[in-house]
Every structure is written in C-alpha cells, then in structure tokens.
Chains A and B, each alone.
Chain A
Amino acid sequence: FMQRGLDSQTKKQLEEEEKKIISEEHWYLDLPDLKEKESYIIEERSFMPCEDLLYGRMSFKGFNPEIEKLMIQMNSKSKKEEIEVDDKMEADVSDEEMARRQLYIFYYLYRYETLVGTIGKKFVRKRDQGVLQDEDEDGSSNTKPSKKVKKKFLKPQD
C-alpha cells in the first residue's frame, strides 16, 4: 500500500488517517508521562561486587593442582593483573600453535601443488601440450628437455 511516487502530502494524509484509526481503538492511560528520573543509584542484591570476594574454590599445598591454577587465574582477574598472566600463557601457547600451524600450511601447500598440477593441465594451450606429453614420458616434472624455451608455471621449491 506504500505506492511508489506517492506525494509526500498524500503520504502524510494516509499516515494521519492510520493513526486516527489506531488511537480510537487502542486503550491508553490518560496520565502524564512519568519522567524516569536519571537515577545514579544502582541497586545490587549480591555481596560479590561490594566486598570483592574471592573465588569460592580453593586448594592448598598442592592438593589439587588444577584448582590452584584456577585460583591464580580467577583472583588475578579481579585485580586486573590478568594482562601479564595472559601474555605469558599466550607466548607458550603460541609457540606450539605456530609449529602446528606451520605443519598444516606445508601440508596444504603440498596438496595445492599437486592440485594445481592436475588442474593446470586442463587449461594448457595446444602449443604446450607437446611439452606436457614429454613431461609425462619423462616421469618427473622437474627435468625438461634442453631445447624447450617455453615459460611454464614454476612450482615453488621446498
């Protein structure tokens, strides 16, 4: 019902009519709006933020090493010394992660190479087909006959 190219005037008229219809049917309180006073008092029913309580799970003298690690983590979080702890932990983790990610990258590169080789053959031009056949006969892609001057896709060396 919102037609294109409708004048702004006619649009306004339509909206006013709609509002009239709605206001007759809608029930509303005939009270003045209560201004929500800008309250700067926040109500809080828990003791945790008031007294800065520690975390409830504790372990002492190495009885439960995981809980002791957790204690350091949780209690330093509240004192905002977490930054240092996180940096140290992140450094340890990132070395392992880096090594693992590098392995993944090498794996994917290898797969990519072989994939490129097989798909590359599809798009090779007629001129280069002779080259390809030579390659296949040779059995290895790195050795080329000396008379070939053609530019080929250079595979990245490991």
Chain B
Amino acid sequence: GRLLCGPGLRRSGTGLLVTKCGLLRHRQAGGAAPASGAYWVDSQQKRYVPVKGDHVIGIVTAKAGDVFKLDVGGSEQASLSYLAFEGATKRNRPNVQVGDLVYGQFLVANKDMEPEMVCIDSHGRSSGMGIIGQDGFLFKVSLGLIRKLLAPKCEIIQELSQLYPFELVLGMNGRIWVKAKTVQQTLIIVNILEACEYMTAEQRRQVLAKFSGN
C-alpha cells in the first residue's frame, strides 16, 4: 500500500520527520488496505507558501509584455501568461487590467523557481478559473479557516447559504472574495466569515439568527 505523507511531514531515510507543529491527522484509504491512507499535520499559519495545484486568488500588479505579474501573498510574485486563459490566442487577448482579481491554479511552485499560474485545467477548459468579475469584496483570513470552510459539509457555509444569495470564491492563499446583492449584505457576510474562526457553533447560530430575521 502507498502511504501519503502530507504537509508538515517529510520523509527521511525510512521514517518520517515532522516539520511543523500542530495536530497529526490520519485518513484511512478507501480500500482499507493496511499502511495506506494519508497522514499530515494540521497546523495554523497566515503566510501562504505556493504549492503546485493549489487554486488561489491573485491580484494583477503589473503587465510585462506577454506575462502578468500577480500578487498571491507569497514571497514572490507569480507569473501568468496571457495564453493561459480559455480561448486565448495571440490575436484574441484576455482583457486583464492592473488591479484585477484572477482565480487560477499553480502550474509550477517550488522553492527554486518563480511560481507560475494558469487559468485553464489540463483539458484546456477554464472550469471556473479566470478573471473574477466586478464588485464584491476581497479580504484575508488565516489558512486554517480556508481549509475549514472548504471541508466537505462545512456547517458555516451551509448556514450562511440560507441567509442571502451570494457568490463566494475561496483561495488557498487565505483570500476570500464575496459578492452579494447589496453592499450591506456583502459586509455582513464578510464580518461573519472573519469572526467565525473564533466563535463556537452556538455563538455563530445566534449571530445568524439575528440577521436572518432582517
């Protein structure tokens, strides 16, 4: 069986070394084979380190010829080629301006090279990636909260979805973009998301009950 050693663990010789502090988690593999599944360390941090395959929200900071420079919250700016959008050709360039928000995934991300992003998947389809539209609100939270929100059957998301219609984009680099019908609704959702990291479930339900009445 194959053992997956996830973030916070490193292989050294025949054993594993722990490189981060946190809770050790284990997930059993589907086939219930012995010595398989995944182990990782659930740690908390605010600073994002680019990882290949992660979907992140980037802010366009510069346009250098054929390549856009994006700020993803890491130590370096990521590069994004203008051809890495769905349906982009040399003549049909995407309409990207400085200051736009882009949702994409990392193609190359290691400590030796500048991170590269693309907005298409391996089939050449955008599948939801690309320039994020107008309006909305972008804010930053810790990485642990993002993972909590993206977990399957997240209660916070389910309870929020009962409140108002809204749209949400979660980037693994700690950035969340929210858009609702009015500015007030958007700000309410933003404040709840920021605060829910330190609220218990009971407190959260009280807050939501207060707003669902309005």
**Interface pair B169/A47, CB less than 8 Å apart:** no
Beta-carbon contacts of A24-42 to B below 8 Å, as 1s and 0s? 0000000000000101111
Q: Which residues of A contact B54 (CB under 8 A)?
A: 46, 48
**Interface pair B165/A47, CB less than 8 Å apart:** no
**Interface pair A67/B167, CB less than 8 Å apart:** yes
**Interface pair B16/A57, CB less than 8 Å apart:** no
A71 — nearest CB in chain B belongs to which residue?
A: B128
**Interface pair A41/B152, CB less than 8 Å apart:** no
The CA-CA distance from A31 to B2 in the complex, in Å, is 30
**Interface pair A51/B165, CB less than 8 Å apart:** no
| Given contact pairs A39-B11, A43-B11, A54-B150, A49 touches B4 in the complex (Cβ within 8 A) | yes
**Interface pair B11/A58, CB less than 8 Å apart:** no
Please tell me the size bucket of the interface on B: 35 or more
The CA-CA distance from A60 to B3 in the complex, in Å, is 37
Beta-carbon contacts of B34-54 to A below 8 Å, as 1s and 0s? 010010100000000001111
Q: How many residues of A contact B (CB 8 A)?
A: 31
Q: Which residues of B contact A51 (CB under 8 A)?
A: 27, 147, 150-151
B207 within 8 A of A: no
Q: Which residues of A contact B169 (CB under 8 A)?
A: 56-58
**Interface pair B4/A50, CB less than 8 Å apart:** yes
The CA-CA distance from A48 to B143 in the complex, in Å, is 13
Additional pairs, 19, CB under 8 Å, beyond known A46-B51, A50-B40: A42-B5, A44-B4, A46-B54, A47-B7, A49-B4, A50-B4, A50-B6, A51-B151, A54-B150, A56-B103, A56-B171, A56-B172, A58-B167, A58-B169, A59-B165, A59-B167, A60-B166, A60-B168, A61-B165
26 A-B pairs within 8 Å (CB atoms) are namely A41-B5, A41-B16, A42-B3, A44-B4, A44-B38, A44-B40, A45-B6, A47-B6, A47-B7, A48-B53, A50-B6, A50-B38, A51-B147, A52-B151, A53-B147, A53-B151, A54-B150, A56-B55, A57-B128, A57-B168, A57-B169, A58-B157, A60-B160, A61-B165, A63-B165, A64-B167
A residues sitting closer than 8 Å to B (CB atoms) are 37, 39-64, 67, 70, 74-75
